[in-house]
Every structure is written in C-alpha cells, then in structure tokens.
A and B are shown apart, each in its own frame.
Chain A
C-alpha cells in the first residue's frame, strides 16, 4: 500500500513488487480461493501451490495436524499440473494487479526444466524452484543439498525461462550459507527460506504417527526463531535478495525478518487462520513505516544491531 512519503516497494532480482509481502507456496492454493476474503491486489506477489509437469495425486490422508503453535503437513504436493494451471487459473489471476510467482517442482532435473519452459512466455512473473519439500520421495528434499542437481536445475531453468528464478531452500540440510552462495554463483535471482522443518506427531493412545506419511513439515509460529536465524545468516552471506519465510503471522513478524536481512517475506500458515493475514501484514508494514518515518524498506533491511 503506497502512502505519502513512504514506499513499500521492493525489487527482487528484477521483479518489482509494490510491497514485500507474498504468500507462501502451498498455503494460498492458486490464489483465487482467497479472493472472497482478501483483496488480492493488496499483495506484493502471489506464490502458487507447487506445480509439476503432470497432475500429482498427493499423499494419503491424514495429511495435516496441528501441533503446539504450528502445523505439521504432508500434503505430498498434490497439484493440478502446469497445463491446467495455465489454462484454468492463470487467466483469472491475470486480472489482478499482482505478480504471480509459480512455485515449480519435479522428480528429476528435466521435469523442473520442462515446467519452467511451459511457463515461459506466460503471465507468470518469476518461478520459485522447490528443492526443499520434505514430503515427497523423489525430488524435493533429495535435491536440497545436491549441488549437481541444483546446478542442473538452475542453469537449465534459466535457459528456458528468462524471468527471475528464485531458489527455495530447506532448513533440513544444515547450515545454508555455502549452499546459498552456490545458488547465487549459478544465477539464482533470489533465495526463499526457510521451507518447513521435518517433524512428526504421535497419537499416544494408538502409538501411531498422526500423519499417514509418518513425517511432515512443521510450519507456523513455532518455527519463527529458527527461520529468523537462517535468514540472518544467509542474508549476510549473499548479495542477492533473501525472501524470509517461517511463522510470520503479522506485520511485526514480517518486519523482524526484514530487520534480520530479508528483502521480502512470505506468509504461510497464517493464511489458514486468517485468509486476510497477508493483506493485513502488508498494511501493517506501511503503517509502521509511516509512524516511524521510514521512507523505504531498504532503510530497515538488515538494520539489526548485534
């Protein structure tokens, strides 16, 4: 929301956003599900559910369970596939004045490239490459620290897709600074972090895991301190923009990530609790800037004093 004297605009590797608040992949469907509850025009960007080259059925239920101040999910990347997305969702999404970032996913390097190639020349403004989903057997987390695969995906995707390529990183593979620099060196326009943390929940009476997949990805307020530490460390290690993700529920949480070094943020689990959470966070950031006479996001980004 642009107000007098302040600008919430940010530039993410060439992608210009009116404000730094995006929606996290997998928590905002294809965007349109939320149109009844929030003004999609108020968002910095919409990041779609992970798209594969063909429709994906997803994991058996139970797929999600609430844990203390968080949720654990193992949806298994159920999606309609890139063709149906371009045919059925993108024409509707184009009506809004908000860039659409397609989260893409494959079970092999070639599949990532094929999805990106299909999205080339469409209204999609950028792709976010999911090499960090903990809930699928092939691809996803298997690629999270595999440099050969990462290089193959990045260079291959960049060849067929000329707009910004964002890499989404996993917190499940140890420190990310080196990997982040590797992505930067191989042409990533920006980095999104963190994806969910591998976790599990147990039904004591049945002595069974609550999720059919046994393990799932933990998100929500419970992971915010972990995410802040990752964002702080990685943003100091690279020059490309870092998009902070992890338990952001409101404007204050978002601003903490920006102060830690993030150029933009993604709102995830909060969308389930309040479908207008991302819009409220964007509005709240503008209010905070106005109140504190902050002219632009750059003035506070990475301003943490340690």
Chain B
C-alpha cells in the first residue's frame, strides 16, 4: 500500500545513524522483518526509492533506523518534522512466518550493524507475546551500536569488535556461549555475520537459522529482479518479495 506520510521526528541516535519516525496518515499494519520503500524527494536525485527495515510500528506510526551512506540517506537525514514522505509498504515476508514452524524451540535473535532495526521489531514483538528469547546485538564499536537504550530494555547482550561495549569479539562468539541444540536463530546483518553464525552452529544439533538479507533494490515490489540472491537449487530469488527472510540452508552465502 502507498502512504503519504509526515515526518514526526528525524534524529541522529549514534554516529551517522539516524532514527526516523513517520506518521503514516492512516493505520499502518506490518510485521517484524518487513520493510518500507521511501521516496526521498520529488526531484530525480535520488531517482529510486530507498528501502528500510521497520524498526517498530504501531497504529499510524512507523519508525526506521538508517545509516547515512550515500546521496539517498544523506537527503533523508535532512528531512524535518512536518515534511511529507511518500512510502510504500509494508513489503517482504516476516520472520513470523518461520516462527510458526519453530513452536517450542528456544529462540535466539541476532542483529549486526544497522541490521539491528528489523530484529528490534522482532524482539519487541516476542516480548509482547510473552516469549522467551536470547537477544544479541553486535557492531564494530560502541559508537556504531544502534539504539542501545531500546535494546537494553529488551534484555539484549552486546558485542563489539573493539570491546567498547559488551563483550569483545563478534556476535558469533557470544552466540557460541548461548547456543543449544534445537534452537531457532533469527538474524539480520551483513553476509559475513551470517557465515560466522552458520559456522558457530556447525556442531550444534538441529539449529535453524532464518536471516533477513539486504541487496540492491530497484522497485521493492518484485518486478525489476535486481535484488536477487542465489538459492541452493541454482535459481535466483528476489530479496524484496521472496524474502527478505530466508532459511539460511536455502541460499548461497
């Protein structure tokens, strides 16, 4: 669905990392793991919409957390409260589709870098549903860590490459201490993190890993076939429509 939203608040919450709260103007129903595709402005720079995972959403409000990287996010960071914002969403499949299959398994939620946004939404959902879960968040350094207070509220443990927040090391090191057989892992972050998680679970029985991927999107609605990921059956699947969440066993990383 298309929304003509308004910016409620747009603020830098960590080094180069911003949180944007949007009033969608009408009821916005979404699930953890889904994303919105935002039209940054009405000129042709940038030309394409930019996709962002939903950090949290309720009623008419939807929030995203983004890192200022290129022209699109730079322009987005200039948005002020009251500015209008056209976006499409919610898009993509939710983690919850896979959670249904997990039933009584122990749940581990892992975020890395700005991939933290979508797992935050998931963790909030799990907490509200009264489910127990282990929550791990990693970044290079404390200053790159997204929304620390919000994550702390959800019982999150942290790891940083330089040890400036939480344990020194990677999320996979922390995971190794907490993983048990039969666990279900939900993760969002860069591909090397997924590889490390897979390796950390290699000798643990019956672990399922569901990961939300990020690839360069053109349309966000499954038409342009830009954001594809190779699957183990040799075909390409669309991250925007067939994902963004995939069973790690089904994709080539």
Contact = CB atoms under 8 A, between A and B. Distances in A.
A34 B223 contact: yes
Nearest to B215: A61
Interface in A36-65: 36-37, 49, 57-58, 60-65
A247 B49 CA distance: 16
Interface in A257-279: 269, 271-276
Q: Which of A27, A29, A37 has the most CB atoms of chain B within a 10 A radius of its CB?
A: A29
Contacts of B45: 68-69
Contacts of A26: 224
A220 interface: yes
Given A58-B225, A75-B225, A273 B48 contact: yes
A178 B222 CA distance: 38
A275 B216 contact: no
Interface pairs A-B: 4 shortest CB-CB: A29-B223, A64-B226, A272-B219, A33-B223
9 contacts: A61-B216, A75-B225, A78-B228, A221-B47, A272-B48, A272-B49, A273-B39, A273-B49, A275-B221
Nearest to B235: A57
Interface string A66-92: 101111010100100000000000000
B2 A37 contact: yes
Contacts of A221: 44, 47
A60 B229 CA distance: 9
A28 interface: yes
Contacts of B234: 57
Contacts, number: 90
B154 interface: no
Q: How many residues of B sit at the interface, in one of the four size bands?
A: 20 to 34
Interface string B46-86: 11110000000000000000000000000000000000000
Interface string A124-149: 00000000000000000000000000
A249 interface: yes
A interface SS class: loop
B219 A78 contact: no
Interface in B194-253: 215-216, 218-219, 221-230, 234-236, 241
Contacts of A64: 216, 218, 224, 226
B224 A272 contact: yes
Contacts of A274: 39
Contacts of A62: 215-216
A220 B225 contact: no
Given A58-B236, A61-B215, A273-B39, A66 B221 contact: no
Contacts of B218: 64, 71, 73, 272
Interface in A1-38: 26-29, 33-34, 36-37
Nearest to B70: A66
Nearest to A65: B216
B4 to A, nearest CB: 12
Nearest to B241: A33
Contact of A61 (B47, B88, B228): B228
B1 interface: yes
Contacts of B215: 61-62
A21 B209 CA distance: 46
A221 B219 CA distance: 16
B44 A63 contact: no
Contacts of B241: 33
B19 to A, nearest CB: 24
A58 B228 contact: yes
Contacts of B47: 66, 69-71, 220-221, 269, 273
Contacts of A78: 225, 228, 236
A73 B224 contact: yes
Nearest to B220: A272
Nearest to A76: B225
